[in-house]
Structure 1
Amino acid sequence: MATVLSVSGSPSPVSRTARLLRLLDARLRDLGHEVIPLDARSVPPEALLGGDLGHPALRELAALVEAAEGVVVATPIYKAAYSGLLKALLDVLPQYALSGKTVLPLATGGSVAHVLAIDYALRPVLTSMGATHVVPGWFTLDKDIATGADGTVTVAPAATEALEQVVDAFSVALHGRAHLFTPAG
């Protein structure tokens, strides 16, 4: 199947966004995809903030994006937009880094007031970076994501069902994309 780069844009080491994303990574693996997880907070701040495109971490980041057929971008919503850390990460990528990619945007937040942030803040940036297909994303309320003392993540049943549907649709879009670029034979 496809190689998927799974990017968490959360600056928090105990992020519900990242934990939810890693749960969805497992579903993508179950669907046959190779998933490469990336936490934006693991990229050296001096490289991100300095825009040092020659920095080994940024060259590696660009190579990961280039090699992926699909990209999942997950972010907490702060002040009605995606995280500043995610913005910094996207800013250091080449202008058309997502060209030819299928992208799934995901967001988490504390209030339904932020539900449109995917469509009004994140989707335009992903599209401007050349994403071939930005599939419908999903916003999950923080209260619907729980972490147990042992680190296990549980998601409210209604949110789980919706997330499974968007991840499955993303997988189908990746599968269809592969047929677009594979010669018939």
Structure 2
Amino acid sequence: MTQVAIIVGAPNDQSRLNGILDYAVEVLNEENIPSETIKVHLLPSRNLLTARFDSEEIKTANSIIEKSEGVLVLTPVYKASYSGILKTYLDLLPQNGLENKLVLPLVLGGSFGHLLTIEYALTPVLSALGANHFIKGVYTIDNQIERTGKHHYSIKEEAQQRLKKALDEFINSLNNREIKEVV
């Protein structure tokens, strides 16, 4: 069965990026696609900052990526790029850790001014890790996600439609890969 790894580069559990995470997991669950989430901010910071490749927590996170067929990469935009905490984790992935993985970037920013973050900042790094099968990423403006309670979010209809379209394409591509591999 298809396995999806979800890497979340939010600095905490209060980030509106968690609204996108919750929605993505809901869509995957509706299609009975198992997923595992790596919240980078929950990994030991010392291991991230000192590049402890041999850390059990880092090895466990990397094994989630290794056994997955698809990877969702979620990040907020800071200073016109993906989050630094995401970069610290990506640096600890094996050189070709995303090879043969289907990748979908989901990015949250404060304005349309950083719309090209996916193409000019995130995709080159993911490509350097071996990723070459991408679904066109989705850039969402943070005011399209409303906090409705502690750890509860509402995504505006237009943003939700764009996320759903990309997630459906991701899921269909995963399912088609399974069929090709079985044949």
The TM-score, its normalising length taken from structure 1, stands at: 0.95
Cα distance in structure 2, aligned partners of 1:150 and 1:58: 28
Name stretches of at least 5 consecutive residues in structure 1 with no aligned partner.
Answer: none
Name stretches of at least 5 consecutive residues in structure 2 with no aligned partner.
Answer: none
1:149 aligns with 2:149: yes
Kindly provide the CA deviation profile for residues 100-124 of structure 1, in whole angstroms up to 9, marking residues without a partner as x. 1001001001100011101110011
Moved more, 160-169 or 125-134: 125-134
The TM-score, its normalising length taken from structure 2, stands at: 0.96
SS state at 2:149 partner = coil
* Aligned counterpart, 1:77: 77
1:58 aligns with 2:55: no
Q: Please, what is the CA RMSD of the aligned residues?
A: 1.2
In the TM superposition, structure 1's runs of 4+ consecutive aligned residues that sit over 6 Å from their partners are none
Aligned residues: 183
Deviation at 1:132, TM superposition (A): 3.6
* Aligned counterpart, 1:125: 125
Percent identity (aligned): 34
1:138 aligns with 2:177: no
Task: Give the partner amino acid of 1:146.
Answer: E
Cα distance in structure 2, aligned partners of 1:25 and 1:175: 17
1:34 aligns with 2:37: no
Deviation at 1:47, TM superposition (A): 0.7
Deviation at 1:131, TM superposition (A): 1.5
Task: Give the partner amino acid of 1:109.
Answer: G
Q: How does 1:1-185 map to 2 (within 5 A)?
A: 1-149=1-149, 151-182=151-182, 184=183
Kindly provide the CA deviation profile for residues 1-47 of structure 1, in whole angstroms up to 9, marking residues without a partner as x. 41101111011230111232122111111112101122110110111
